[in-house]
Structure 1
Amino acid sequence: MEKTRQAKAAGRRPAPAANGTADPAHHGLPLHEVVLLLGTDHVQGLASAEVARRQAEFGANVLPRSRGGGIFRKLARQFHNPLVYVLLAAAAVTLFLGEYLDSGVILAVVLVNTLIGFVQEVRAEAALDALHSLVRTRAVVVRDGQREEVPSEDLVPGDLVILEAGDKVPADLRLVRLSGLRADESALTGESETVEKNEVVLPPTTPVADRRNMVYSGTLVTAGTGAGVVVAIGGETELGEIHRLMGSVQQIATPLTQKLAHFSMTLTVAILALAAVAFLAGVARGQQPPQMFTAAVALAVGAIPEGLPAAVTVTLAIGVRRMARRRAVVRRLPVVETLGSTTVICSDKTGTFTENQMTVRALWTSSGAYDVTGSGYGPEGRVLPAGAGVQGASEGSAAEGTEATAARDFALHWSLLAGAACNDARVVREGDAWRVQGDPTEAAMLVTAGKGGVDTAQFLSAYPRRGALPFTSESQYMATLHAPRLTDGSGTGQNTVLVKGALERVLELCAWQMDGPGDNGHLNKQAVLEVAHRFAGTGLRVLATAMMHLPAGTSLDEANLRGQLTLTGLQAMFDPPREAAAAAVHACHQAGVAVKMITGDHIGTAATIARAVGITADRADGTALTGTELDAIPEDQLPDAVERATVFARVSPEQKLRLIGALQSRGHVAAMTGDGVNDAPALRQANVGIAMGRSGTEVAKEASDIVLTDDDFATIEAAVEEGRNVFDNLTKFIVWTLPTNMGEGLVILVAILAGATLPVLPTQILWINMTTAVALGLMLAFEPKEPGLMSRPPRAPGRPLLTWTLTLRILLVSTLLVAGTWWIFELELAGGASLAEARTAAVNLFVAVETFYLFSCRSLTRSVWRIGFFSNRWVVLGVLVQAAGQLAITYSPVMNELFHTAPIGPETWLRILGIAVLASLVVAVDKRFRRHSF
């Protein structure tokens, strides 16, 4: 209990440990006590049976989802709306005046609108929850002594978790070993500087920000490697405590919806002021105050587009779900709007334009070149002298050739060994397929060593790994230190260092080159570079391998490697272009979206793949540049050079930032893809940051707006297409709904100013707005994309939501509604119809014109017959539902009593349909003559 009090004193709420006791401030205990307390093994990890037991006891490693206080609070929030305040005030006054039926109808409409808003909020929340489940953090754990990759929610206290640069820490961990591990804990502590970790036991009262021997859930590993045991999961983590204290619901708000909400508020105030003026004008002309109040309420209710913000949010949510079905998970809703304006896509090569299924095809040592047969990650294949593997050699002769080759060429043996032992990947069999755990490039080198007959497990048993320099974007190589396992004190005491990495970087560290017999010879860097250039020219990615012996007791760092390594060989691998990449690039070009490849790979490899997928790439004309060449370009000339070039190879994180900034300086809306820690700054800088869901690090995902679940460039093109479609549908909804609100307001205003009888009553306007918004307007959210959507140029970023052409169309339809309503109202009265019948005709006219206009709004430039009358079945269903509602309000005695309507005859319906058809024809003519104005 003393330790529990210490934990509380340190500012941490005790959480249950694996044995059910309180959390004893794990940072303040020696490692062996932490392991004992958690009932785990810091080398072998937990047993599978124990994991299952703890999962049943402690539950999933997820944060409890906070909500806005449950159902009742969500319902209450729906009343927090300017229109609702107006309606409630109107209901109170009509009740005071004795108009009990009108008051009851207004209250009923408020409740129905509240219910609609509640359903919309719940559905939008559910959409976001579904997106959360699509992008799950995965963790590498050791269980039963074997590494495996599991969803982070499956972690339990005591699990042994492996960490690498780019990982998101999946739970609170006490570190058990590490190498150069640094973490970004700003999400937890607010400190922007990364924190260097160690294994030193700390005082129990050490605050969270200073606990160097711990890493916490939600933080990011920015450098190095390490391992730690889980001490807290889910809501019991430090992040869970903050989550609990916040207790806030995630609000679904975007700049677009906020802009529209502000527009609605401003319009509400303006219309209320206009209604007040109309009320005073009517009273001044001798009209009765109750009658004028009813008219003023009708004007206000009719003119306010109260459902617009909610409808826009639902439309965005539907679009986001569509994108998710096309394997593009939108993490931030505002990006949907931005996608419609994207003018340039900057994409990585590996895994995006290519399959990310590396296969080593060729090897090279000072003794000669070799072919590697087989493909994928299966063990089938051999390493043969160049040319032998493609002549149809039998399995027997191939195997013999491999053994003879490995025995004859020691450089080949050491190159294969370096590729496999200086390696953190695993290849596991799942049914008939082989799955990679780790980096695909490392997996390819691991498989190749097996094809070459190298027994990596035997080497690691005799020379276990004792240290490592992890691969980083700055170093561009990985090194491992292997010490001999000595049992009797004999031996030289020499350690072996194995290195693999980018050719240019490894060559900087090499002084010698291994020959066939295994001796160190002269290193001819120019000859090696020429070989690599030939490989890259055929689309192969080239990595170099090296080794050295290091005296016992010497630390593993770059200072001790520089100028001491021996180059053992080159491994050239092929990552085939994705089948859909070329078509996707072509579609982007057709849409006016430029495509640029930004990669850390060799310029020759990048240019070859770029040409294969339809991107122009040539060193001679400046369309292909290296990072070194970029640095040599003056800052004032950089935007022009970046605009012209399409392929950028061997670029650093700083250069990626410069590229994005240069493009944005030219007015581009830039989308940027990335997967590594080094890509995060550029992802944040870009207008749309796109992370790889499969191969991407958690750092990249956290920095992104969109996550691709299949890492495919074709999905980016699909996301742009869906983004354009969502924005199209938003515009269609706004263009459809505004004329109705404007027309209703103008009809009432004309009546008040003319001292005439109201053609429609407030309750009738409420019926129109309530039913049409749901049954008709929201159906536009399901509108499929129009033909030629990706043949248009990108939408200009500064272009207003409503162009002048669309504004004129809104005014045209509003005018038609006002004229048509007054005409049929006066005509019915002149023909002997009662006031209720005339108003019923006016209500049905409004709905009929809206319905015909809805079909026109399904495309802002094409006729409904060209896009297909039944291509959106939801619209047809909505029209049938609305028609049933209109028949009910016209002929149902109960509805007649509630809404002051009356049955009308066939001739009236014919007049209504005639006006609706005429209005539709006028809009069609306007659309035809203005279709080039968009």
Structure 2
Amino acid sequence: MALLLAAVALAVAAVPEGLPTVVTLALAVGVQRMVKGHVLVRRMQAVETLGAATVICTDKTGTLTLGVMEVREVWPPEAAHRVLEVAAACCDAELPVQGPGAGDPTELALLAAARARGVERADVERERPRVSEQPFDSDRRRMSVLRADGVLYVKGALEALLPLCWQVPPGVTEALASLAGRALRVLAVAEGRGPDERDLTLVGLVGLADPPRPEAVEAVRAAREAGVRTVMITGDHPATALAIAKELGLLREGESPEGLVHARATAEQKLQIVRGWKARGEVVAMTGDGVNDAPALREAHIGIAMGRTGAEVTREASDLILTDDNFASIVAAVREGRGIYENIRKTLVYLLAGNGGELVLMLCASLLGLPLPLLPLHLLWVNLVTDGLPALALVMDPVPPDVMRRPPRRPDEPMLGAREWGAVLATGLLDACVTLGTFLWSMERMPLEEARTLTFTVLVSCQVLRAFAARSGGLLHWEVGSFNNRPLLAVAAVTLALQVALPEVPLLAAFFSLVPLDAAHVALALGLGLIPVSVLELRKLVLRGVGRAMATPNG
């Protein structure tokens, strides 16, 4: 019977029963935090992958910029009325007299500028109804509308329109360079006769401003500090793209834009960009909003769809959805992903160290020919109150403040490396030594049941208090003023109170084969429980001091 009890006790000690629950809760908490940060998670595994992202490929308009377009300049100035009239005749957006408009932000800006010059799209539609149209797409890079007056109205990229034009105002190339160099998005407008896009007359250019999001500048900087490259992909002119990239801080002085800024990019090129980064071993996140972006989103490790402007097909292909279409939300999600991974890793170390300590305790007692220090029921209780509740509180830890100042982890890096397994072994041995020493000391001074009760209380105290060392990256949190995990505080207080009260309740004491402890022994148990956490924190203090000494010149 004693052998059977020993076998059962060893089995119970070896298994971290709370592990599946802990991992599930960690991901669930992360998903909840991401929702508050305007990120909807469609696939749970993307949460963990996002923390390892090394490259974020992002659209410019509406993600890095405000997405609120405004016409800043029309060229040539003397033909501004005609330029805007042609542009308004080639729009699908609706701009009512009162209230917000509906449609593409660029077209809304064109209609607003045209209205300021007395041109209303509603009048154009009434007087010259459209006969046919060829919508804009990323391959053609232009849109055309044939109206009842026989005129074909065309707008799009200048490079796409120039080959179709037989009349071009002088100085158009210089005007394009001037507008694009000032970070303006440039649209060319042209007109012709008949349904075919040929023999057109270039009417002029429109320069539109889409200012960078203020928070995007900080987000790009934070991503750079975290070792994450930001790759801007846009349909704008290369000069416009470069100017905005510099405004955002995406390109610093002297840096080459190669690989980081892609202008006039098509859907196929987006797919090739993602594949190129993946071939280099990078973990790629890709944003998109159009139907043509879906293949690139599926190809990336993390596909991110736009929630406001994204097509339904793109959302279906994505892992995450941005509800505010903001690049800063992506960087915040990367931070959250890293925090989730860190919380899971430190909780695993805590759980495995606890079970390792229990296993070593029971094995050593068996090898020394001692009675069982703890019964199987005691170990089940330990796993319930120390493996379960503190571990669940640990995964709710706030994200470490320095997590975005660390480089991304390697994709092939195991969650528990040599450092973590070393911590598991050392911590487990420390717990086992304290509890085994307690059992050997108490056996000489008190009956077996009382010795077990004291050992039982010491083990619970060791593991509960050690949870604070598990969450601390340096000194104890109360020493650095960031003792901010309230669930863990509550769990520790309640668990220790329950443990002290357990032998005092006759029914529970009989069920667990415990006897009441006097106040001196309770104080001793709590004091011994402070040994592992104190040793671990002193070790961190020593290592921090050594690190500072090595970092100091001549130190």
Do these two structures clear the TM 0.5 threshold for a shared fold by scoring above it?
yes
Which residue of structure 2 aligns with residue 482 of structure 1? 147
Which residue of structure 1 aligns with residue 190 of structure 2? 546
Which residue of structure 1 aligns with residue 62 of structure 2? 351
Does the 8 Å CA contact 2:179/2:186 hold for their aligned counterparts?
Answer: yes
1:661 counterpart = 2:275: yes
Specify the SS of the correspondent of 1:546. strand
Which residue of structure 1 aligns with residue 537 of structure 2? 924
1:438 counterpart = 2:103: yes
Q: Which structure: larger Rg?
A: 1
Structure 2: state its 5+ residue gaps.
Answer: 551-555
Displacement of 1:785: 1.9
1:253-272 alignment, distance < 5 Å: none
Which residue of structure 2 aligns with residue 854 of structure 1? 467
Distance 1:789 1:473 in 2: 38
Displacement of 1:322: 0.6
Displacement of 1:698: 2.1
Distance 1:772 1:428 in 2: 63
Identity among equivalent positions (%) equals 42
Which residue of structure 1 aligns with residue 437 of structure 2? 823
Which residue of structure 2 aligns with residue 309 of structure 1? 20
AA at the equivalent of 2:516: P
Does the 8 Å CA contact 1:536/1:605 hold for their aligned counterparts?
Answer: yes
Which one scores higher on RCO, CA 8 angstroms, separation ≥ 6? 2
1:308-347 alignment, distance < 5 Å: 308-347=19-58
Distance 2:10 2:476 in 1: 33
1:240-639 alignment, distance < 5 Å: 290-364=1-75, 368-369=76-77, 409=79, 412-428=80-96, 434-483=99-148, 495-512=150-167, 523-524=168-169, 527-550=171-194, 556=195, 560-561=196-197, 563-616=198-251, 623-624=256-257
Structure 1: state its 5+ residue gaps.
Answer: 1-289, 370-384, 386-408, 484-493, 513-522, 551-555, 626-641
Distance 2:377 2:300 in 1: 49
Which residue of structure 2 aligns with residue 20 of structure 1? none
* 876 and 339 in structure 1: CA distance in 2 versus 1, 3 angstrom threshold: same
1:874 counterpart = 2:487: yes
* 499 and 780 in structure 1: CA distance in 2 versus 1, 3 angstrom threshold: same
Distance 2:24 2:467 in 1: 20
Which residue, 501, 505, 508 being the options, matches 1:888? 501
Does the 8 Å CA contact 1:732/1:860 hold for their aligned counterparts?
Answer: no
Distance 2:133 2:228 in 1: 43
Aligned positions, number: 546
Displacement of 1:540: 0.7
Displacement of 1:673: 1.9
* 869 and 352 in structure 1: CA distance in 2 versus 1, 3 angstrom threshold: closer
Does the 8 Å CA contact 1:676/1:696 hold for their aligned counterparts?
Answer: yes
Does the 8 Å CA contact 1:786/1:867 hold for their aligned counterparts?
Answer: no
Distance 1:357 1:616 in 2: 23
Distance 2:479 2:288 in 1: 40
Displacement of 1:853: 1.0
AA at the equivalent of 1:793: P
AA at the equivalent of 1:729: N
Does the 8 Å CA contact 1:585/1:613 hold for their aligned counterparts?
Answer: yes
Which residue of structure 1 aligns with residue 553 of structure 2? none
Which residue of structure 2 aligns with residue 722 of structure 1? 336
AA at the equivalent of 1:417: E
Distance 1:617 1:681 in 2: 31
AA at the equivalent of 1:345: I
1:781 counterpart = 2:395: yes
Which residue of structure 1 aligns with residue 362 of structure 2? 748
Distance 2:457 2:193 in 1: 91
Does the 8 Å CA contact 1:349/1:598 hold for their aligned counterparts?
Answer: yes
Distance 1:873 1:622 in 2: 46
AA at the equivalent of 1:756: L
Distance 2:92 2:414 in 1: 52
* 474 and 862 in structure 1: CA distance in 2 versus 1, 3 angstrom threshold: farther
Does the 8 Å CA contact 2:88/2:120 hold for their aligned counterparts?
Answer: no
Distance 1:885 1:737 in 2: 20
1:733-812 alignment, distance < 5 Å: 733-812=347-426
Does the 8 Å CA contact 1:414/1:547 hold for their aligned counterparts?
Answer: no
Displacement of 1:862: 4.6
Specify the SS of the correspondent of 1:725. helix
Displacement of 1:727: 0.8
1:913 counterpart = 2:512: no
Specify the SS of the correspondent of 2:154. strand
AA at the equivalent of 1:510: C
TM-score w.r.t. the length of structure 2 is 0.93
* 294 and 436 in structure 1: CA distance in 2 versus 1, 3 angstrom threshold: farther
Displacement of 1:794: 1.1
* 698 and 330 in structure 1: CA distance in 2 versus 1, 3 angstrom threshold: same
AA at the equivalent of 1:777: A
TM-score w.r.t. the length of structure 1 is 0.56
Displacement of 1:930: 5.2
Displacement of 1:300: 0.9
Distance 2:475 2:275 in 1: 38
Distance 2:128 2:280 in 1: 55
Deviations 1:583-636 (A, max 9, x none): 111111211222221211111111111111112268xx77235xxxxxxxxxxx
Distance 1:867 1:855 in 2: 13
Distance 1:539 1:725 in 2: 36
Specify the SS of the correspondent of 1:701. helix
Which residue of structure 2 aligns with residue 178 of structure 1? none
Distance 1:476 1:538 in 2: 22
Displacement of 1:413: 4.1
Specify the SS of the correspondent of 1:435. coil
Moved more, 660-669 or 596-605: 660-669
Distance 2:311 2:363 in 1: 60
Specify the SS of the correspondent of 2:64. coil
* 917 and 576 in structure 1: CA distance in 2 versus 1, 3 angstrom threshold: same
Does the 8 Å CA contact 2:457/2:500 hold for their aligned counterparts?
Answer: no
Specify the SS of the correspondent of 1:782. coil
Distance 1:667 1:458 in 2: 55
Distance 1:429 1:920 in 2: 68
AA at the equivalent of 1:586: R
Does the 8 Å CA contact 2:54/2:408 hold for their aligned counterparts?
Answer: yes
